[in-house]
Amino acid sequence: MTVFVKGKDAFSFAFKQFTDTVYRIALHNTANFSDAEDVTQEVFIKLLESNKAFHDSEHLKAWLIRVTINLCRDKMKKSSRETLVENVLPYNRGEEKTDVLEAVKALPEKYRNAVYLHYYEGYTAKEIGKILDAKENTVLSWLSRGRDALRKELDGGFDDE
Amino acid sequence: MNKNDYIKAVDNIIAPQELLDRIEALEPPAKKKMPVWKTVTAVAACFVAVVIAFSGIVGGTLKAESEDYAVEDFNGNEVLFDTADKGAGSLSESPSVGISSASKTDRKIVKTATLSIKTKNYDTFMNGVNQKIEQYGGYIEKSQEYNYDNASNRNANMDVKIPADKLEKFIDELALIGTVTSKTVASNDITDSYIDVESRIKALETEEKTLLGILEKAESLTDVIELQQRLSTVRADLEKIKAQKQAYDGMIAYSGVTLDINEVERVVEGDDSFWGEVKEKLMNNLYDLGDFFREGTINFIAAMPYIVILAAVAVVVIVIIKKVRRRHR
């Protein structure tokens, strides 16, 4: 297999190309900006430490996405243990959301990331399945349930057109 | 509201500059130690390389020698084949498997052969060997000759390279001019390693092309410098791996033949039958007996000067004793 980038090169490449992607995913999966920033930084530290070789930029991107989601999960677990009170009502649950971003963030983790990867990053269900380690059909059902949930929450729904 | 609003909203999420600065300042885990590390590693690598190269040479010779001795011990003087008549037949039966079949397929085979040869006519044989090597387009990699106690006990160790497709013919022809006492032909399949090297070359060449493509479009100076650094690493790797492929090609195209040539005074024809063995042992013993008398005579004659002096001393002593006895009477 071809080695596209590795170590410090992979870091520089990822920093230029994918910092925003990592930050956006982090923001989708954490409670606040400061946590998202912490996670983003941790992802890059992980990248440096792993010294992993990547076949192409897609390989690198997929790795970053997976690591970001995992680190966010760790972060949320930790912060829910540390600050129970703060996390009771993180997303104004119950009210009709005017902010589409808040609505997406309020979705269960799987739906949320599938929606982000499909609608923003343009991945197909099959590709998302590969990144998140799930079957294509599972991803399709996450997407449709996510869409349904958003339609209920948002004025005008969340349609493909 | 639809997905376009979502895309717009996400577009607005941009990592803050402060975070970018923090990430950019990140260093690889052991970065600070690198300079010292590098020197130490480089020195260690050089040392290891020298040691390996040296042990390779020494080990190679030692290995060849020990094998040869083993063959000698095993065969002794008793298990000599005469190649002129039946030796050639027995050689074609011996395990030279893989030589002809391997060259037919696309597999990458490295062939090596080790031969122990005994010859009565050392000089003629050595001339013959050199001639055959030249004839088949091979070359001598290393050659050592020893001369033990007398002129009829010379020994030569040669490492010869012969074009792989002519290896069998070369061995057969050596068997015609000398007596092959042991023969080992080994085939080592390096197809996997070879394919690995080939695909790495392809991959590196593709990467080089890609980098050159990006370099043409690069705008900022830092990009250009970074790309060029990467490019020089890729090119260095490419050179290294290409050299490896060349080495493989050389090993495949030319078979290594190790020759252990021993000069003997006679080569005994014998076979595995009872009388064949009796004949062989009897011949050996008669030869040894003859040799004993021959050696004895030679030693006796060679010792003449001492014997004459000793005889003279003995005569003087006897004369004195006789005179003393006469006086007593």
pLDDT tens across the length of chain B (329 residues): 577 888 888 888 888 898 999 898 888 776 444 455 555 555 566 565 555 555 544 444 433 333 333 333 333 333 333 333 333 333 433 333 334 433 444 788 899 999 988 888 888 888 889 988 998 899 998 888 877 656 667 888 899 999 998 898 898 888 888 888 888 888 888 888 899 999 999 999 999 999 998 888 888 888 888 889 999 999 999 999 999 999 999 889 999 999 988 888 766 655 667 887 788 788 888 888 888 888 899 999 999 999 999 999 999 999 999 999 998 87
Instruction: Please report the pLDDT score of residue B150 as a whole number.
Output: 60
Tokens of B273: 């039958």
- Rounded to a whole number of angstroms, the distance from the CA of B1 to the nearest CA of chain A is 5
In this complex, the residue of B9, B19, B27 whose CB is nearest that of residue A37 is B19
Tokens of A117: 């990867």
Percent of residues, chain A, with pLDDT higher than 70? 83
Tokens of B324: 């003393």
> CB-based contacts of A106: which residues, under 8 Å, 6+ apart?
A91, A93, A97, A153
Q: Which of B13, B199, B209, B241 to mutate to test the interface with A (most CBs of A within 10 A)?
A: B13
Phi, psi of B151 (to 5 degrees): -65, -20
Instruction: Please report the pLDDT score of residue A37 as a whole number.
Output: 92
Cα B104 to Cα B249: distance, rounded to the nearest angstrom: 17
Class of domain A1-88: mainly alpha
In this complex, the residue of B6, B22, B226 whose CB is nearest that of residue A100 is B6
Output the CA–CA distances (angstroms, integers) from residue A94 to A28, A88, A115, B84, in the order listed.
19, 13, 21, 103
> CB-based contacts of A117: which residues, under 8 Å, 6+ apart?
A65, A123, A127, A128, A131, A132
Nearest CA in chain A to B200: A2
A95-153 CATH pick, 1.10.10.10, 3.30.70.1350, 1.10.3720.10, 1.10.357.10? 1.10.10.10
Binding-site residues on chain B for chain A (CB distance < 8 A): 1-3, 5-7, 9-10, 13-16, 19-20, 22-24, 26-29, 203, 206-207, 226, 230
Instruction: Please report the pLDDT score of residue B182 as a whole number.
Output: 85
CB contact under 8 A, A23 and B19: yes
Give the pLDDT of chain A (161 residues) as one tens digit per residue: 556 777 778 888 898 889 999 999 999 999 888 889 999 999 999 998 888 888 888 889 999 999 999 999 888 887 766 654 444 444 444 444 458 888 888 888 899 999 999 999 999 999 999 998 888 999 999 999 998 888 887 766 676 54
- Rounded to a whole number of angstroms, the distance from the CA of A133 to the nearest CA of chain B is 24
Output the CA–CA distances (angstroms, integers) from residue B65 to B72, B139, B240, B292, in the order listed.
10, 21, 33, 30
Q: Which of A100, A102, A143, A159 to mutate to test the interface with B (most CBs of B within 10 A)?
A: A100
Tokens of B25: 């300042």
Cα B319 to Cα B313: distance, rounded to the nearest angstrom: 10
The answer to whether the CB of B156 falls within 8 A of the CB of B143 is yes
Does the CB of A135 have a partner CB in chain B at under 8 Å? no
Rg of chain B, C-alpha, whole Å: 36
Domain boundaries, chain A: 1-88, 95-153
Nearest alpha carbon to residue B121 among B258, B260, B264: B264
Instruction: Please report the pLDDT score of residue B82 as a whole number.
Output: 34
**Read out DSSP for B4-33?**
HHHHHHHHT----HHHHHHHHT---TTGGG
Nearest CA in chain B to A103: B6
Residue in the block written with tokens 């079957």: A135
Instruction: Please report the pLDDT score of residue B267 as a whole number.
Output: 64
The angle at the Cα of A36, spanning A33 to A37, to the nearest 5 degrees, equals: 85
> CB-based contacts of B161: which residues, under 8 Å, 6+ apart?
B138, B139, B140, B141, B254, B255, B256, B257
CB contact under 8 A, B14 and A15: no
Does the CB of A4 have a partner CB in chain B at under 8 Å? yes
- Rounded to a whole number of angstroms, the distance from the CA of A23 to the nearest CA of chain B is 6
pLDDT tens, position by position, A64-108: 999 999 999 888 887 766 654 444 444 444 444 458 888 888 888
- Rounded to a whole number of angstroms, the distance from the CA of B203 to the nearest CA of chain A is 5
Q: At what angle do helices B17-24 and A33-50 cross, to 10 degrees?
A: 20
Write the secondary structure of B92-119 as one string of H (helix), E (strand) and C (coil). HHCCCCCHHHHHHCCCCEEEEEEEEEEE
Residue in the block written with tokens 């989601």: A69
In total, the C-beta contacts within 8 angstroms joining chain A to chain B are 83
The answer to whether the CB of B94 falls within 8 A of the CB of B83 is no
Does the CB of A15 have a partner CB in chain B at under 8 Å? yes
Cα B161 to Cα B206: distance, rounded to the nearest angstrom: 35
Task: Please list every residue in chain A whose beta carbon sits closer than 8 Å to the beta carbon of residue B23.
Answer: 15, 19, 40-41, 44
- Burial class of B61 by CB neighbour count within 10 A (0 to 12, 13 to 18, 19+): middle
The answer to whether the CB of A62 falls within 8 A of the CB of A4 is no
Instruction: Please report the pLDDT score of residue B69 as a whole number.
Output: 35
> CB-based contacts of B201: which residues, under 8 Å, 6+ apart?
B238, B241, B242, B245
Using the 8-state DSSP alphabet, how is residue A1 labeled? -
CB contact under 8 A, A48 and B14: no
Cα B126 to Cα B144: distance, rounded to the nearest angstrom: 12
Instruction: Please report the pLDDT score of residue A71 as a whole number.
Output: 92
Output the CA–CA distances (angstroms, integers) from residue B78 to B16, B141, B280, in the order listed.
89, 31, 7
